[in-house]
Structure 1
Amino acid sequence: MAPKEVLEEWIRLFNQADGEKLAELYAEHAVNHQVANEPVAGKQAIKELFVREFETANMVCIPETIFEDGEWVILEWKDLKEMRGCDFFHIQNDKIVFQRGYWDKLSFHKLYNIPFEI
């Protein structure tokens, strides 16, 4: 699969809130670093992150721009509440080895009515 196709599958599974299957797109040693949080390392930890996050908020990824360059794919997205962000995915051998996401954590917590601690 081309990196863009892996990302398209990621979006599909994300929008189904399927943390189990979503984690299968990651390499065993993958790192998911949402810059508002500490990096999460390893497929199992990434699965636990998604399962926990899907229990917290009804998240949806609506792609606005997808850009592919070699092993990298960039996704600009919004959600149903018009929150916006951008994620960078490094994909090797059909698996995500690194993901970094940029979004506003305070706005996310306000939009989804989640308590925010400083």
Structure 2
Amino acid sequence: MFNAGDAAGVSALYADDAINHQIPLEPVVGRAGIEEFHRETFAAGPLTCTPINLVVDGDWAALEWTDPGGFRGCGFFCVRDGLIVHQRGYWDSAQLRQVHPDVHPD
């Protein structure tokens, strides 16, 4: 869904009151806000996330990822009842501007 730029599909993975906090940015609260965040992000053009490592421990998962341009980061997801309730994403905003100059998340 992410690689297809499907904001509605991505947001359906989250609980209604979920929090998505991409650490360089302010937290986004709620499924509707998370969908809008992804819609705005995808509007700049396609993004591709290639998983490198995934570690799961109980309700938590850690995902290390990269993209074809070398942009990289990691995300931590708390999942309950099959939906993401909290996400924290860590990535370098300077590297994002260098690799994807058309994406302006801040």
2: CA distance between counterparts of 1:59 and 1:34?
Answer: 16
Residues 73-111 of structure 1, C-alpha deviations (whole Å, 9 max, x = no match): 100000010111010000000000000000001110121
**1:109 match:** 97
2: CA distance between counterparts of 1:23 and 1:43?
Answer: 6
Where in structure 2 are the equivalents of 1:1-118 lying within 5 Å? 13-114=1-102
The percent of aligned pairs where both chains have the same amino acid is 37
Q: Equivalent residue of 2:25, what SS? A: coil
Output the TM-score relative to the length of structure 2: 0.94
| Displacement after TM superposition at 1:115 (Å) | 7.7
Question: 1:64 corresponds to which letter in structure 2?
Answer: I
Question: Which residues of structure 1 form unaligned runs of 5+?
Answer: 1-12
Output the TM-score relative to the length of structure 1: 0.84
1: CA distance between counterparts of 2:37 and 2:72?
Answer: 20
1: CA distance between counterparts of 2:13 and 2:102?
Answer: 28
Q: Is the 8 A contact 2:4 2:46 kept in 1?
A: no
Question: 1:101 corresponds to which letter in structure 2?
Answer: G
Go from structure 1 to structure 2 and tell me whether the alpha carbon gap of 1:115 and 1:16 turns closer, same or farther (over 3 Å shift). closer
In terms of fraction of residues, the more helix-rich structure is: 1
Go from structure 1 to structure 2 and tell me whether the alpha carbon gap of 1:79 and 1:42 turns closer, same or farther (over 3 Å shift). same
Question: 2:54 corresponds to which letter in structure 1?
Answer: I
Deviating 4+ runs (over 2 angstroms): none
1: CA distance between counterparts of 2:45 and 2:27?
Answer: 20
